[in-house]
Structures are given as structure tokens and as C-alpha cells.
């Protein structure tokens, strides 16, 4: 699943290629129509008629990111509205001249939303497992997940929110891994970067958040920021299904210190794995406490 750095890289590429463009028309896949017929609301999480009516003629003013969500600031008939998207487990946007130009056949087969743009480019949303989401809202704050999200890691308030939320009554008894994967504590940390940041800060993922000193939590925050930054500069992680807008891969996976490792990169001991916060977690009991 793409985490903050991967989504940020998608955002940067989309900014470069679609800001200032106008959406001329949209096409939806049969899966989306079928999903809506059976009440599952596949990918498009709102009334399909409404979505299809809003898009044509909308200009893309800006592409942004909040946590693991992308958003598009759109303007149509002097009104501003927003399209919010989540890549789910395996979603990807591609900018090409046509669907046939998407090199990865598996993605090409699994297109779900096509946006025809006014420069003859095609912005395709492809999603093999169909856990992705998109919907429109008037204001960003109308979108419930944004209202309870902590400030971005780049925001000066991020650390104080992090320290306060990690130790509050609701979180202090939970495992620190579950806590840092909660976007109301810090947005954008998924399974991979949680393992990496906890390893880098020497904290055991199973430890209760409330039992960790402020000093160590501060260090953890610093390491989360660090893994995000290193990942951004390596082009993100390409595990199985993440692809950039132009189909490229990142190399962050080559820099992992603990995630999916058999031996600890620090002491050489066996890496332990355990399901914590619903996902497989990698850690070293000698280097993390």
C-alpha cells in the first residue's frame, strides 16, 4: 500500500502534468458501474450521475496531498470544488496519450476512471484490487477524515500534536505501532515506514505508547520524518504494486533496514515478525526495547 512518500511523489508528478488543464470528459469502467448497481460503490464513493456531471468542463487548479490522500482543486463556472482520491492498496494514476500507452499490462487492464484532458492527454486511474476511492466535496473540510487528521509532518505543530496524542488516554494503552499508524497522531505512516521508524529509534513496536518517555517519542517523530525524507529522495518504495505516474519504480526498498529482512542490519541477529495493528511487523528484540 502506498504510504505518504509514494503519494507525495504521485502528487508532485500530477502537479507538473495536469495543473492548468481542463477535464473534457470522464469514462468509468464496467466494474464501477456494476459495483454501483450492487450497492458497493466501487472506487467512486458518490452518486455516479453526480460525479459524471461535475467533471466535464472542470479546470484543475492545483493538485495537493493530505496524509495518504490526494486532492484536486477544481473550478467550474466560477465555483471551486474538490476531488479527493485515495490509492487504496494498488491504485495508480497514469498520464499518457492513450490507454494503450500504459506499459504495465496489468494496470492497463484494470483502468476504472479515465479523465480526457484538453491537451489530448489522458489521466487514467487504474487499480488492480479496487480498494481505491474518489469523491467530490465542496470544501476540503467537508471530508470527515481530514477533519480529524493531525498536522502534516512538515508542519511546525506536528511534533507537539504527536507527543500529546501519543500519550493521551485513548492511545497510551495501545501499541506504539498502532498509534503512529493513526492519522490523528501523525498522517501518512503505513506498515512499512512504521517498522522502519521504530527500528531506527530503537523502540519495540509492541510497547505501549504511554510507557515511552517524551524524549524517546521525540526521537521516534524525528525518525518518521527521516524515513519519509529518505524515501522521497529515493523515489519511494516499489514493493509489488506501487507505480509512479509515468510507470517508474522507486528504490527505497533497497534502503530498508528491517522491513522484510531476515537479519538485523545493526546486530546481525534474527529479525522477528509479528502481526501488530493488523499487519506484519518486523523488529529486532536486541536493538529495540
As measured in angstroms, the least distance from the Cβ of 210 to Zn ion is 25
Between 138 and 286, name the residue whose CB sits nearer to Zn ion: 286
According to CB under 5 A, which one of 266, 273, 277, 279 is a site residue for Zn ion? 266
Catalytic residue among 2, 5, 187, 205: 2
Q: Give the phi and the psi of residue 129 in degrees, each rounded to 5.
A: -95, -5
**Is 3 considered catalytic here?**
yes
Q: Is 287 in the site for Zn ion (CB under 5 A)?
A: yes
Between 60 and 204, name the residue whose CB sits nearer to Zn ion: 204
Q: Is 208 in the site for Zn ion (CB under 5 A)?
A: no
**Is 174 considered catalytic here?**
no
**Is 279 considered catalytic here?**
yes
Catalytic residue among 21, 66, 68, 243: 68
Q: Is 264 in the site for Zn ion (CB under 5 A)?
A: yes
As measured in angstroms, the least distance from the Cβ of 190 to Zn ion is 23
As measured in angstroms, the least distance from the Cβ of 266 to Zn ion is 4
Q: Is 267 in the site for Zn ion (CB under 5 A)?
A: yes
**Is 56 considered catalytic here?**
no
Between 160 and 280, name the residue whose CB sits nearer to Zn ion: 280
- How far is Cα 107 from Cα 161, in angstroms, rounded to an integer? 38
Instruction: Tell me the catalytic residues.
Output: 2-3, 68, 279
Task: Please give the residue ranges that form the binding site for Zn ion (CB under 5 A).
Answer: 264, 266-267, 269, 284, 286-287
Amino acid at each position: 500500500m502506498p504510504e505518504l512518500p509514494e503519494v507525495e511523489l504521485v502528487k508532485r508528478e500530477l502537479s507538473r502534468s495536469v495543473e492548468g488543464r481542463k477535464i473534457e470528459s470522464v469514462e468509468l469502467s464496467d466494474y464501477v458501474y456494476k459495483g454501483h448497481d450492487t450497492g458497493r460503490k466501487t472506487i467512486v464513493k458518490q452518486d455516479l450521475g453526480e460525479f459524471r456531471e461535475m467533471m466535464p468542463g472542470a479546470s484543475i487548479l492545483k493538485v495537493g496531498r493530505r496524509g495518504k490522500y490526494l486532492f484536486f482543486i477544481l473550478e467550474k463556472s466560477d465555483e471551486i470544488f474538490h476531488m479527493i482520491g485515495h490509492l487504496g492498496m494498488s491504485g495508480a494514476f497514469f498520464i499518457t496519450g492513450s490507454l494503450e500507452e500504459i506499459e504495465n499490462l496489468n494496470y492497463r487492464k484494470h483502468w476504472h476512471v479515465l479523465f480526457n484532458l484538453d491537451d489530448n492527454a489522458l489521466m487514467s486511474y487504474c487499480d488492480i484490487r479496487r480498494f481505491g476511492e474518489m469523491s467530490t466535496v465542496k470544501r476540503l473540510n467537508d471530508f470527515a477524515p481530514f477533519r480529524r487528521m493531525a498536522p502534516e509532518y512538515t508542519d511546525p505543530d506536528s511534533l507537539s500534536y504527536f507527543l500529546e496524542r501519543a500519550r493521551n488516554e485513548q492511545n497510551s494503552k495501545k501499541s506504539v505501532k498502532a498509534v503512529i499508524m493513526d492519522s490523528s497522531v501523525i498522517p501518512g505512516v503505513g506498515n512499512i515506514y512504521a517498522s522502519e521508524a521504530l527500528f531506527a529509534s530503537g523502540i519495540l513496536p509492541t510497547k505501549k505508547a504511554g510507557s515511552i518517555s517524551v524524549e524517546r517519542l521525540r526521537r521516534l517523530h524525528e525518525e518518521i520524518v527521516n524515513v519519509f525524507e529518505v524515501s522521497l529522495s529515493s523515489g519511494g518504495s516499489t514493493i509489488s504494486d506501487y507505480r509512479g505516474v509515468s510507470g517508474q519504480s522507486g528504490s527505497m526498498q533497497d534502503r530498508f533496514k528491517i522491513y522484510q529482512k531476515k537479519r538485523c542490519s545493526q546486530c546481525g541477529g534474527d529479525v522477528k515478525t509479528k502481526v501488530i495493528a493488523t499487519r506484519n511487523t518486523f523488529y529486532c528484540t536486541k536493538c529495540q526495547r
